[in-house]
């Protein structure tokens, strides 16, 4: 979900849906991706008007970014991407990179500025099927302005993390929250004027203090799963001790949303926001008035 639209993937096509208006668009997967096993999409508003307010994008054009982290059935091959424009109704040319990616299953893409980022799929630390060979310290980066695809390296420890989340840092740079040994490690990536990039560890926060829980007994592992991330408000959704929490990534303040059994919550949470911008109507002061709530 992004900017008032929801993206659904069927067998051979995408559906871009506005649940407020009911409008939906059917977009076929381009031929270059027909034989690929792992597909990840991201929908974005394509409005360029400076007065446009994202979230009220009901009649605005959109772009659909399609990305596969590997060109086939195995990881270790270069990613490929492609962009669909609702204005033209066609897919652009495939966008390639020579950088190889060491994972095939991804977390949902996160938009930071005008760049999309994908990391390896987070897994339940208590699962019998960790698929640790699917983890890696690679991060796939797609720059919407440059229409370029790259694979960058994450901070130390990412390739050992089963639970992590791309976030937007306080300086609007890309950040990463890593859950490791009962604590949050909050990292931020800075790019110098010469193009060099470095990850900085901003802070470490004990997980039990964030949720107001007693410390875990030594030797035990607390089951934690990241269910989703709200780009608009910078909030993560996590499942901890049969509770679902919302955590503001920068302040680390948390709120318990609800309690449930381990089998009764959704595997993923997709935060959705939509609204109608105020509409100017004739007859008000200065020739225009604002439409009031009814």
Determine the longest span between alpha carbons in the chain, in angstroms: 70
Residue 108: predicted pLDDT: 92
Is it the case that residue 238 has pLDDT exceeding 60? yes
Segment 67-80 mean pLDDT:
80
Per domain, the residue ranges of the chain are 1-153, 174-264
Residue 285: predicted pLDDT: 44
Is it the case that residue 287 has pLDDT exceeding 50? no
Is it the case that residue 274 has pLDDT exceeding 90? no
Closest CA to 107 of 99, 118, 116, 91: 118
Residue 131: predicted pLDDT: 57
> Residues 83-128: pLDDT tens digits?
999 999 999 999 999 999 888 889 999 999 999 999 998 876 555 4
pLDDT band at 264 (very low <50, low <70, confident <90, very high): low
């Amino acid at each position: 979900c992004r900017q008032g639209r929801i993206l659904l993937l069927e067998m051979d096509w995408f559906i871009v849906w506005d649940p407020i208006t009911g409008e939906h668009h059917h977009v076929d997967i381009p031929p270059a991706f027909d034989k690929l096993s792992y597909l990840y999409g991201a929908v974005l508003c394509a409005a360029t008007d400076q007065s446009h307010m994202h979230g009220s994008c009901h009649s605005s054009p959109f772009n659909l970014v399609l990305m596969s982290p590997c060109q086939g059935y195995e990881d270790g091959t270069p990613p490929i991407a492609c962009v669909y424009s609702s204005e033209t109704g066609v897919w652009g040319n495939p966008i390639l990179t020579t950088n190889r990616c060491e994972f095939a299953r991804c977390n949902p893409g996160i938009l930071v500025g005008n760049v999309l980022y994908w990391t390896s799929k987070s897994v339940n630390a208590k699962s019998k099927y960790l698929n640790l060979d699917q983890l890696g310290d690679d991060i796939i980066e797609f720059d919407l302005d440059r229409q370029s695809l790259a694979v960058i390296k994450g901070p130390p420890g990412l390739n050992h993390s089963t639970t992590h989340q791309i976030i937007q840092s306080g300086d609007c740079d890309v950040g990463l929250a890593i859950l490791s040994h009962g604590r949050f490690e909050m990292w931020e990536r800075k790019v110098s004027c010469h193009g060099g990039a470095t990850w900085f560890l901003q802070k470490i926060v004990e997980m039990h203090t964030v949720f107001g829980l007693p410390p875990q007994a030594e030797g035990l592992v607390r089951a934690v799963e990241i269910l989703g991330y709200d780009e608009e408000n910078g909030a993560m959704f996590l499942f901890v001790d049969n509770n679902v929490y919302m955590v503001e990534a920068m302040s680390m303040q948390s709120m318990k949303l609800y309690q449930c059994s381990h089998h009764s919550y959704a595997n993923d949470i997709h935060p959705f926001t939509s609204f109608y911008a105020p509409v100017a109507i004739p007859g008000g002061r200065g020739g225009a008035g604002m439409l009031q709530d009814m």
